[in-house]
Structure 1
Amino acid sequence: MDCDALVLQLEAGVYVLALSEVTSDMGDLVGGKAAGLGALIRHGERVPEGFCVTTDAHRSGVLPEVEIVEAYERLGGGPVAVRSSATTEDLPDASFAGQHDTVLGVSGTAELIAAVEQCWDSLHSDRATAYREAHEIDQHEVAMAVVVQRMVTPTVAGVLHTANPLTGRRDEMVVDAAPGLGTAVVDGATAVDHYVLDGVARDDSGCLSAAHLDRLRAAGERLAGHFGLPQDVEWAIDAEDVLWLLQSRPITSLFPPPPANGKPLPRVFLEFGHVQGMLRPVTPMGMATLRAQITATLAALGVRVEIVDIGGRLYGDLTDLARSRSSRRRLVKLMAVDFGPRAQAVMRHVLADPRFAPTDDGTGRGAAQQAASLRTAGRAVVGIVRALARPDAARIRMFGAIAQLKARSAAPDDLRTAAERLRFVEARDDTDASDAIMWPIVAGMLAAALPSALLKGVAGADEIHAVLGGMPHNVTIEMDLALWRLAQGVGDHRRLLLDTSPDELAARHLRGTLPDIGMADFLDAYGHRSAAEVDLGVPRWAEDPAPVFAALANYLRVTDPEQGPDQRFHRAAATAEAALEELVARARRRRPVRGRLAGFLLRRARSLAGLREAGKFAGLYPLRESRRQLLLIGAELTDVGLLDHPDDIMFLVLDEVRAAVHEGVDHRGVVAPRRAVYRRELRRRSVPVALLSDGTDIEAVLPRERGDDGTLVGVGASAGRVTGPARVVHDPATAHVEPGEVLVAATTDPGWTPLFLTAAALVTETGAIMAHGPTVAREYGIPAVICVPDATRTISTGQLVTVDGAAGAVTVH
């Protein structure tokens, strides 16, 4: 090594540390793997002796050969394991398992230096780079440390998960083991012995004895306790029957468990967010608002359910309903309209579980609650019958009530201080559900849902779906068509809108430097909307119109007038009316009484079912005003140094805002970790439909249905058959959907609907027949298959797929 290199090395910092000197807070210096090993050593666990080549060496670009050789000689030489330890490795939300290199059985200084260099190089391998991109990790911020440890020669080795990684169950551990090196288990290169440790006695079959499994379970309990999270542990047992721990990191795939609430176990929690078309996490401020709204809405329907936050998502505790003799009989049927077949399947499984057997005390409802439920039932009957009898009058009353709600939601002009604005927000009643708005919607949903039972044996589901296409009075469809008309009128600005990024167009619009294309008028009518719009913490389109410009560009790519959404909607409506007349005539011939009733309901469905979107549309007006006032409070708190950014206020709850406004409490230390958790959860692509209190993902223990030819099986929700290239979309704000492509998404809400206007078909992982996505698909006459598990992971963008809405099947070619 020359003198210049030596000087650079001395100036750079610490290059080599013994693992016994490493502490858990040294992640930036030693990387995730070494930090975890240091923590194991400090907790008294048996870890092979070793040292770490730190990130200081990697960042300076100088390989400290002298220090590495000296540390190697202190180990006594001989075979060592050389393992990558990047700063982004073994994190709570990104394990980087297998993304960086490990070199085993390294002997001699020359091999050791080469192995360290190999680990360095693996930081920028294609697979590691792609992994960081997928997890939105800054490529320029990562650095590589390298762990060198005395090589253990195992007779058996493997991996221990301290929670079941497949089902999420926290009271089960899973062990995979094989004779020899543990790489056989990690790489999947050979058959392994698989053990589930659930407290049941084990025999000595396989490569591990019952005593070995007991020792592994005890180690797993210690490690889960040490780190406070379920762990993924690599281990080895040598010829002297000594158990060595080679690594322990968080299990990153597990969904967070339900919070303990002190009630009798087990408990069952159903995910409620997909009813609103969102599986993304909700901000803390939005969570508090939504919990109150959903609880009040359910109470108005005579149902009492506790809403809890699990992983930033809304889950309802249905345990009491499942154990109630009266409620459990109708629980599965009640889920058909909003929650859909996947939720129905898991609830059937729960009701068959003896742990949820009905109890004598049911839900424990008192006389007052029963009286309230009877009053609600009476109002419901009156409201539903009025709407079915005179649907036109019901619509007039509904839109009048929405106009009044919009007017009432506006804040007074004299609000000046944060305290005044906070009083306005706190005084707003999020739980007010107007009968004039609620019961016409319920009437429309019932009118659309009941005919399938009346026409059983006379008409198939796809025929009924055809009747429900092109329905009028849908505020979201009217929004989409308004944006289409805007696209048709852009004239000479077409190339500007196609060739400029949506973000730049949005910035120019907000600065007032964009030519007038009618966007201001559109946002005046619909700027209070957005994707995930039920979350108070999400920016509205008026604040950030980039998603609208992205949708506008998609519309401008539709060059065939016959494929325009207005024409598609009119064709779907005409087809639906013709299908209605034919279906009713057939039904009346075969079953006169049922046919007449089904015809009446289907005609009322065409008058009322389109109103389904209006309830949420109305609720967005007060939500928009509350958000505006909270952001103004956030700006004031930022000015006085209590927050870093105005929108940090969305990561507080109102009690905390009150403490900041009135007592000067600094919440910046609270906001930062909540933002970090929120960003982590935004990357999660799969959210369990239902959970047990022990963390079990109920759907994971059910048998998966798949066609004999590999066809993906779901539920047909809009008739038709289309073949086209898939477009998998996780974020509608930046999606580019070409005409003729099949839109594949986890779920959709009204903020997604502009994408429907160019899509040839829709495939989603969740949903119900009358949920938002399939409803809009029917409006435009495009096929839809819902409830296709893991569709966004099984299907890739560009793959040719056939969507059969009648059969409820998706074929990947």
Structure 2
Amino acid sequence: MEKHVLYFSEIDRSHLPQVGGKGANLGEMTKAGFPVPQGFCVTTGAYRTFMRTSREMTELFDLLDRLSPDNLEQIRTLGQRIRAHLHALAMPEDIKASILEAWKTCGAQKAYAVRSSATAEDLPGASFAGQQETYLNVRGQEQLLQAVQKCWASLFTDRAISYRAKNGFHHRAVFLSAVVQEMVFPKVSGIMFTADPVTGHRKTISIDAGFGLGEALVSGLVTADLYQVRSQEIIKKQIARKKIAIYALPEGGTVTQDLPREKQEAQALPDDKIRELARLGQKIEVYYRSEQDIEWCLAEEKFYVVQSRPITSLYPVPHAPDDKLHLFISIGHAQMMTEAMKPLGISVLKTLVPVGKNTPQAESRLLSEAGGRLYLDMNEVLEYPQARKRLPELLGNVDELIGRTLREFLEREDFLEALQPGQKMEFGLVKKVFPTAFAVIRNILYRQHGQVFDEMNRFIAENVRENSKKLQEVSGADRITLVQEMLPAVLAKVLPKAAPYMGSALITYKLIEGLSKKWLGDAAELAGISKSPPGNVTSEMGLALGDLADAVRRHPAVMEYLKQARDDTFLAGLSTVPGGKEVLPMFQHFFERYGMRGTGEIDITRPRWRETPTQLVPALLSHIKGGAPGQHRLNFQAGKEEAERAAGRMLERLKQVPRGFLKARRMHRLIKVHRALIGIREHPKYFIVQNLDLIKQAILQEAAQLVKAGVLDDAEDVFWFSLQEIKEMIERQQADPDLISERKEKFYQDQKLTPPRAITSAGEIVTVKPGAQVPPGALAGSPVSAGRVEGRARVILRLEEASLEKGDILVAPYTDPAWTPLFPLAAGLITEVGGLMTHGAVVAREYGIPAVVGVDEATHRIQSGQRIRVDGTQGYVEILE
């Protein structure tokens, strides 16, 4: 028979199902010898026995299951009904007897704190902190039994119901234990984090302290003192004005009292006690092997721990090869894909990078996974003085906030000490870079560029064809080895080919802007000059989608079909509806050319348009609704003509200044080179994505053989393994199903995390404020496409759910090439990540729409339907209503 009560001395972490997270932690710490006030737990078995006495809970659970986590009124009404019902139930006599026996054993004359401890509480992935109730200074058997029953009912507080629903915990599967712990009447109490909960710095212990019981701090009634300790040195003391404190009453319960004026601003903990408490926190962290959130109190000069749980809000730290301070920057922010990736996606990108590895097949040591995202270790690069000088500006073109973060971080002495100063560029590397630099100069000064796109497209087609042939000539583990060898070669081939053109396009843009401001006093024509350049494969894809939308709009039955089409029968079903056979060849042609694209396309595990064609439906329908037939092509042509007029206006203005003829001639060359080459920017990614698509199909073919052999249940289970693991799986013909489950759970948790742009090896999330000077209340970002526009905000988190009308301002986490079809409809653009040369910025300039990128939490701070103003010249967003 399951026990109704377990004493702390009987409990360890294996008892979590019986005593919940809080109870298991208290028992574990008691056994480890930490100063925990004694007590016992009323088990979840007792809770379940109590719940079985109800005839109504089955119906009430059914009602809970149907609740939306956002319907607060229904949650409030149902929660109130359940709690009232549970308060009215009689506690079974055998449970009462067990509780009272344990109470007498621990001391019937003592006061107790009764706390709720749920089985889904204080876990690494979800803390559930504050979801249930706590009752302090409980005295006597009647108060004790009432407090336990109230704890059981508190599993159904409004906040607990909502939290479970939002985080995917089934209401029937979460059980509650009541922790009964001897009360300590403290002089001072508070909370200690063994890592800074704000910055994430793992070597900073952060302590909140106030007078009396800790409930005043936990419930937010008082601002606590803040002390921070690093290496036993107090690095920060922030003394708060503590107006009140909560104290215990002799007859039971608590009272809130005003503190005397002289005590309100007194330091709650003396320095020696701060250091002593920090040492205790470090010991608890070492024991649990993870950073801890600890509730503590000080009574009669002795510290007690009344709770410890993992800090669930910390972002995981990328792996560093040594104990020095390392700076890591997010690859996802640079590549416009900040979602979590599965292990195969991580492995492919680490293999793709051709540097930082001993063999071509290896994964680059410069890239580390953290929270399902990839981070680049900057230390090896920043050892070179020239890199420290140039990189902040270069990275600023990719993501302005990353560039500014790096610039500010390079001023920190502790980081510069971690580098090997004075590293000189190896001659071999200089020798490799020199031809590219020379080619850039040649491109800008005199080279003609009429054949650039034909040459680049031919290069891509030939290499893709060759790689496709190679992949089909081998199978099994040899094919995975070929993939490992092919990936770094893809990058090594395309970058030297495209870099001279991309570098020339970027430099000429900067020169046009700088010289215009120097010679004319402004860069008023810059936005117009960038419109509708030739050759951009992503812009051509957007135009092709517009053509497809025009074909669809002529057939109402096709439009209706698309609204309910399924991925697995998309093309086959199209031919069965009126007009479908006419548009089917256009769909097929589109997928032949662009079917390997999709959102988050640098992640090989993400679906491509060819695999999930319904992703395109919202963009097609938005095109049909938002524009007239052929309007997309007319707009592109108008942009081209506007660019020519803008260039003409600038050159005419230049001719009016001193030495104007020579200045106009120089500017004419810069404009010509910029417009001729800026379209190359998307070609490298276009090439990489085509190769990733080939590789994905090859891997899935091998996975299909593993399914056939019974090694895997599903071909896409291969996404949970690295390339090397897949090769070994093929060789051994066996896979670990537990590993798949473990990685699926990690991926689920990683998806909930918000990845930082920059993080150190000490876990500190490095942030800087945007550079723009903004009006009061405006949201700051980086200006990347000039102009000012007002309109209705349309927040779109996922492209496949996009609904954009002509004139809306698109607000998104990021945009990659898959988002291009929405740009002809948008009046402006706001993204949370990005820089001058990232996809959204370049395409916004091509379409001539104002754009601001790098606006932190834009998709949360702006709501669909709000009227907003985007200032793409100054770099800020104003919410007008």
1:668-713 per-position Cα deviation (integer Å, ceiling 9, x unaligned): 333333332222222223x22222221222216x699774522111
CA distance in 1, matches of 2:420, 2:281: 40
Query: Quick check: 1:233–1:247 contact (8 Å CA) kept in 2?
Result: yes
CA distance in 2, matches of 1:745, 1:146: 45
TM, length-normalised to structure 2: 0.81
Match of 1:535 in 2: 603
Match of 2:618 in 1: 550
Distance 1:33 1:276, change over 3 A: same
Distance 1:395 1:499, change over 3 A: closer
Alignment pair present for 1:489 and 2:573 = no
Which AA in structure 1 matches 2:570?
A: H
Match of 1:7 in 2: none
Alignment pair present for 1:265 and 2:265 = no
Counterpart secondary structure, 1:236:
strand
Aligned alpha-carbon RMSD (Å): 3.4
Alignment pair present for 1:440 and 2:496 = no
Alignment pair present for 1:324 and 2:384 = yes
Counterpart secondary structure, 2:233:
coil
Which of 756, 766, 770 aligns to 2:837? It is 770
Which of 395, 406, 417 aligns to 1:335? It is 395
CA distance in 1, matches of 2:864, 2:465: 44
Query: Quick check: 2:6–2:43 contact (8 Å CA) kept in 1?
Result: yes
Which of 490, 495, 508 aligns to 1:430? It is 490
Distance 1:496 1:120, change over 3 A: farther
After TM superposition, the structure 1 stretch with the greater mean CA deviation from structure 2, 56-65 or 645-654, is 56-65
Which of 643, 661, 665 aligns to 2:712? It is 643
Runs of 4+ in 1 over 6 A off after TM superposition: 498-502, 702-706
Which AA in structure 2 matches 1:614?
A: H
Shift in Å, 1:175: 0.7
Distance 1:320 1:70, change over 3 A: same
Shift in Å, 1:55: 4.1
Shift in Å, 1:500: 7.3
Shift in Å, 1:534: 0.8
Counterpart secondary structure, 1:17:
strand
Query: Quick check: 1:266–1:355 contact (8 Å CA) kept in 2?
Result: yes
Alignment pair present for 1:709 and 2:776 = yes
Shift in Å, 1:571: 4.2
Query: Quick check: 1:18–1:51 contact (8 Å CA) kept in 2?
Result: yes
Distance 1:144 1:352, change over 3 A: same
CA distance in 1, matches of 2:524, 2:40: 66
Alignment of 1:137-286 (within 5 A): 137=169, 141-198=173-230, 199-201=232-234, 206-238=267-299, 240-262=300-322, 265-286=324-345
Distance 1:674 1:254, change over 3 A: same
Shift in Å, 1:398: 0.6
Alignment pair present for 1:449 and 2:510 = yes
Counterpart secondary structure, 2:823:
helix
Distance 1:228 1:683, change over 3 A: same
Alignment pair present for 1:666 and 2:735 = yes
Which AA in structure 1 matches 2:29?
A: L
Match of 1:291 in 2: 350
1:384-416 per-position Cα deviation (integer Å, ceiling 9, x unaligned): 459x72222111101111111231232469668
Query: Quick check: 2:193–2:293 contact (8 Å CA) kept in 1?
Result: yes
Match of 2:823 in 1: 756
Distance 1:53 1:505, change over 3 A: farther
After TM superposition, the structure 1 stretch with the greater mean CA deviation from structure 2, 18-27 or 224-233, is 18-27
Alignment pair present for 1:615 and 2:701 = no
1:764-808 per-position Cα deviation (integer Å, ceiling 9, x unaligned): 222111211122222333221112223234334444432221221
Distance 1:750 1:110, change over 3 A: farther
Which AA in structure 2 matches 1:224?
A: E
Match of 2:868 in 1: 801
Distance 1:614 1:430, change over 3 A: closer
Alignment pair present for 1:62 and 2:95 = no
Alignment pair present for 1:627 and 2:688 = no
Distance 1:556 1:187, change over 3 A: farther
CA distance in 1, matches of 2:44, 2:31: 21
CA distance in 1, matches of 2:449, 2:325: 45
Which AA in structure 1 matches 2:336?
A: G
Which of 344, 353, 375 aligns to 2:403? It is 344
1:525-572 per-position Cα deviation (integer Å, ceiling 9, x unaligned): 2111111111122222222223222333433442x5399644544444
CA distance in 1, matches of 2:654, 2:829: 30
Which of 665, 674, 683 aligns to 2:752? It is 683
Match of 1:696 in 2: 764
Which AA in structure 1 matches 2:665?
A: R
CA distance in 2, matches of 1:142, 1:473: 58
CA distance in 2, matches of 1:107, 1:495: 74
After TM superposition, the structure 1 stretch with the greater mean CA deviation from structure 2, 512-521 or 527-536, is 512-521
TM, length-normalised to structure 1: 0.88
Distance 1:549 1:136, change over 3 A: farther
Query: Quick check: 2:772–2:875 contact (8 Å CA) kept in 1?
Result: no
CA distance in 2, matches of 1:471, 1:218: 63
Alignment of 1:516-531 (within 5 A): 516=580, 517-518=583-584, 519-531=587-599
Which AA in structure 2 matches 1:771?
A: T
Counterpart secondary structure, 2:747:
helix
CA distance in 2, matches of 1:758, 1:369: 45
Counterpart secondary structure, 1:195:
strand
After TM superposition, the structure 1 stretch with the greater mean CA deviation from structure 2, 174-183 or 437-446, is 437-446
Among all aligned residue pairs of Structure 1 and Structure 2, give the percentage whose two residues are the same amino acid. Answer: 32
Counterpart secondary structure, 1:430:
helix
After TM superposition, the structure 1 stretch with the greater mean CA deviation from structure 2, 105-114 or 392-401, is 105-114
CA distance in 1, matches of 2:794, 2:219: 31
Query: Quick check: 1:22–1:38 contact (8 Å CA) kept in 2?
Result: yes
Instruction: Please list every run of 5 or more consecutive structure 1 residues that lacks an aligned counterpart in the other structure.
Output: 1-9
Match of 1:312 in 2: 372
Match of 2:853 in 1: 786
Instruction: Please list every run of 5 or more consecutive structure 2 residues that lacks an aligned counterpart in the other structure.
Output: 54-90, 240-265, 359-363
CA distance in 2, matches of 1:121, 1:563: 63
Shift in Å, 1:487: 2.5
Distance 1:567 1:521, change over 3 A: same
Alignment pair present for 1:604 and 2:664 = no
Query: Quick check: 1:409–1:621 contact (8 Å CA) kept in 2?
Result: no
CA distance in 2, matches of 1:646, 1:118: 50
After TM superposition, the structure 1 stretch with the greater mean CA deviation from structure 2, 136-145 or 655-664, is 136-145
Query: Quick check: 1:283–1:312 contact (8 Å CA) kept in 2?
Result: yes
Distance 1:339 1:715, change over 3 A: closer
After TM superposition, the structure 1 stretch with the greater mean CA deviation from structure 2, 178-187 or 594-603, is 594-603
CA distance in 2, matches of 1:137, 1:547: 29
Shift in Å, 1:96: 2.5
Query: Quick check: 1:721–1:804 contact (8 Å CA) kept in 2?
Result: yes
1:704-760 per-position Cα deviation (integer Å, ceiling 9, x unaligned): 977452211112212233334434443333344454443323322222333434443
Query: Quick check: 1:642–1:668 contact (8 Å CA) kept in 2?
Result: no
